[in-house]
A and B are shown apart, each in its own frame.
Chain A
């Protein structure tokens, strides 16, 4: 079945450091891929998405590229801020309308000034 594996956390960085959070997936067909972010005490918010191979999703300085050959969707940011401290979830859904999301276990990012 479909699954998502993301790197274990926590990830601790200093402000302005480069961030990479690895995500790989197993899926049949042509899944859509997502990164969600959860700030303390809040629900999940969509950060970015990609719906086909080689697509790059980007938002708020974060980027991720849909790599079908390596079944990966790694999240990157060139210079993190303290306000980026949160839990980040990689997720996938099937191509058909209405399929449920499958989430990775989440990676906690802590950024210090």
Chain B
């Protein structure tokens, strides 16, 4: 299996621009998670999906952030408009959830820099 795939690996953009991050989960996994990692705040859960349906988006920082999962093999995280404080590494993770075992598999991340 190829693992969780994220693209792009690096993104540099200017303040005010729209940014779209992409994720392909591991085939057969039924949960998908988006995290953000910064030095100041560590790893933060932004949103997660079960069978393509958003379950908890309470971690999404503000309305500029949105996430979709149109099918079981693809998800996007969009920031519009972007701001310098959005600079971070964004991770996607997926899991096949079972009682007593919620191990998640992470992608390599997208390093976003907003100038």
Residues of A bordering B, CB below 8 Å: 30, 32, 34, 36, 42-46, 49, 51-52, 89, 93-106
Contacts and interface: CB of A to CB of B under 8 A. Distances in A.
B50 interface: yes
B57 to A, nearest CB: 12
A100 B48 CA distance: 8
Contacts of A99: 97, 102
Nearest to A46: B103
A34 B103 contact: yes
Contacts of A46: 103-105
Contacts of A105: 42
Contact of A100 (B33, B101, B103, B109): B33
Contacts, number: 62
Interface string B16-54: 000000000000001101000000001101001010000
Contacts of A94: 102
A43 B101 contact: no
Contact of A42 (B33, B93, B95, B108): B108
Contacts of A32: 100-103
Contacts of A49: 101, 103
Most B-side CB within 10 Å, residue of A36, A98, A105: A98
Contact of A97 (B4, B102, B106): B102
Contacts of B101: 32, 49, 51
A106 B103 contact: no
19 contacts: A32-B100, A42-B108, A43-B106, A43-B109, A46-B103, A46-B104, A49-B101, A49-B103, A51-B100, A94-B102, A96-B99, A97-B98, A99-B97, A99-B102, A100-B48, A100-B102, A101-B33, A104-B42, A106-B43
B97 A98 contact: yes
B109 A93 contact: no
A49 B43 CA distance: 19
B14 interface: no
A97 B97 contact: yes
